[in-house]
Structure 1
Amino acid sequence: MKVVVIGGTGLIGSKVVTKLGEHGHEAVAASPNTGVNTLTGEGLAEVLAGAQVVVDVSNSPSFEPAKVMEFFETSTGNLLAAEAAAGVGHHVALSVVGTERMPDNGYFAAKIAQEQLIEKSGIPFSLVHATQFFEFVRNIADTATEDGKVRIAPVQFQPIAAEEVAQAVGRAAVGAPLNGRTEVAGPTRYQMDEFFRKALDAWDDPREVVTDPRAQYFGSVPGERTLVPDEGATLGTITYRDWLATNK
């Protein structure tokens, strides 16, 4: 099976390409680095020729609300049009757990717009909603730091290893289209401020974590369950402690 992975040279995409290749599929990494640009349409027709499945794990280079919306609307629109012309039978997209629970967030709003385009395209699809990646936890702490203190909201948090997100995306790619969504999350649910206290301690980071109900998460204040999946989600097995042991 030929599977084209848009964003195939990035964190998740490169892992998806590797995993699909290990299972005997023709997995093609597509990104501006390989001559495929979904914003301009460059290279799309050529790379999609003969593809049965397209996996989109690309991401906006800017998180500014207007720019991220423009990225997902333009990129997804061009990609879906090219897929229709090429006769692609399954579109898989990676999205975020909780998009509909924080619509005032610019990034989440853009992901909702992306999903709506996919749902209306007429192409069979599967949406994989994932929680936050372990790989971005340090960045979250840095972004939340004010005057040397890490301000974190006391809400539920269930991060996951990128490796297990890639596994879920790969499973969706080789399976029948869901024409709906599936959710994946890490094995352990935490209170986010407590998670970051434990994480900073594990990093030997002296910064104090301050519990702040008004603390923002990428520009918006999350609700109690914004960042965690509903019942029935697929849970990973890699704990943060185990992941950190090989990713310091």
Structure 2
Amino acid sequence: MRVAVAGGTGLVGSRVVERLRARGDEVVVLARSTGVDIVAGTGLSEALAGVEVVVDTTSIVARSSQEYVDFFGAVARHLQTAAAAAGVHRIVTLSIVGIDGLGGGAFAHYDGKNAQERETEAGTVPTAILRATQFHDFAGQLIDWVAKGPLMPCPKQPVQTVDVGAVADELVALADEAAGGGLTSDRVRRDIAGPERRLLADLVRAVAKARGRRLVVVPVWLPGEGARKVRHGVLQAPPDAKIVGGTFEEWLAREYAEPLRRATTS
């Protein structure tokens, strides 16, 4: 199978590429480092020649809702246009559980992902959107973004985080279904989530401890209707979601096993 992976050098995309190549599939990585600018649409036509399925795992860190909307909207439109011209069977897109329940303006990144879903499904190429809950990695990313001293404010909210590796496995499985004709609808949506519902602050504390960092985590209520919906579980798994991957503690032990080993033997 010839598969194109948009964002194939990123956190999720690199794992998708790794899995596909390990079993012998031909993989085309769509990224600026490989000469393809998806945002501008340059290089896509050549890159998608002979591709059966496109897996879109693109991501960005932006400063405003409009930047996110512009980025994800452009990526979705250009992938649809180039995929249609190349005869691609289906576009598989990674998105986020529950974001359509938040409404516009609540969270900038989710505005962009909602725009991505709309633009992807507005095209002529059949689509499959895989919505995942936040990753186990999110707690560590939050520390990197927010913690500037010994005190760290943390949103007081529940999460149901999932292992990135399991997300990559599900994307590959969905691509297989798409290439094999196993998806009977032109517009498929599926939800996946990790096995546990936890408090985000507890995960942040666990990551800080694993890193050997003394950090006082202070849960805070975020204002606004969107934050209220998050506190009430809008980003957690719906009843029909597939539960995948291991627990946060299993991921933590694996992720920090080598740093901890070096610390104890030095």
TM-score (structure 1 length as normaliser) = 0.90
Map Cα deviations across residues 219-242 of structure 1 (whole Å, 9 max, x no partner): 956332122110121222322222
In 1, Cα distance between equivalents of 2:63 and 2:131 = 19
2:133 aligned residue = 131
| Residues 112 and 162 (structure 1), Cα distance of their counterparts in 2 relative to 1, 3 Å cut | same
Letter of the 1:224 counterpart: H
Structure 2 stretches of 5 or more lacking a match? Answer: 257-266
In 2, Cα distance between equivalents of 1:40 and 1:16 = 23
- Cα RMSD of the aligned pairs, angstroms, is 2.2
Equivalent of residue 194 in structure 1, options 197, 202, 216? 202
Letter of the 2:30 counterpart: A
In 2, Cα distance between equivalents of 1:40 and 1:32 = 10
In 1, Cα distance between equivalents of 2:116 and 2:170 = 19
2:145 aligned residue = 143
| Residues 40 and 198 (structure 1), Cα distance of their counterparts in 2 relative to 1, 3 Å cut | closer
In 2, Cα distance between equivalents of 1:102 and 1:143 = 23
Structure 1 residue 88, shift from structure 2 partner: 0.9
Map Cα deviations across residues 77-114 of structure 1 (whole Å, 9 max, x no partner): 11110111111111100011121132321111111111
Equivalent of residue 208 in structure 1, options 216, 236, 242? 216
1:165 aligned residue = 167
In 2, Cα distance between equivalents of 1:223 and 1:183 = 19
**SS of residue matched to 1:237:** coil
In 1, Cα distance between equivalents of 2:217 and 2:72 = 34
Letter of the 1:182 counterpart: R
- Paired residues of 2:134 and 2:161 also in contact (CA < 8 A): yes
In 1, Cα distance between equivalents of 2:170 and 2:20 = 11
Identity percentage over the alignment? Answer: 31
In 1, Cα distance between equivalents of 2:150 and 2:241 = 36
In 1, Cα distance between equivalents of 2:212 and 2:61 = 31
Structure 1 residue 116, shift from structure 2 partner: 0.8
Count of residue pairs the alignment pairs up: 246
Map Cα deviations across residues 183-208 of structure 1 (whole Å, 9 max, x no partner): 12212111223333344344443211
1:18 aligned residue = 18
**SS of residue matched to 2:12:** helix
- Paired residues of 1:95 and 1:128 also in contact (CA < 8 A): yes
Decide which moves more: 140-149 or 117-126.
140-149
In 1, Cα distance between equivalents of 2:76 and 2:198 = 34
Structure 1 residue 117, shift from structure 2 partner: 1.1
- Paired residues of 1:131 and 1:227 also in contact (CA < 8 A): yes
Structure 1 residue 50, shift from structure 2 partner: 0.8
**SS of residue matched to 1:180:** strand
**SS of residue matched to 1:132:** coil
Decide which moves more: 162-171 or 238-247.
238-247
1:44 aligned residue = 44
**SS of residue matched to 2:251:** helix
Decide which moves more: 138-147 or 52-61.
138-147
Structure 1 residue 58, shift from structure 2 partner: 0.9
- Paired residues of 1:14 and 1:29 also in contact (CA < 8 A): no
2:60 aligned residue = 60
Structure 1 stretches of 5 or more lacking a match? Answer: none
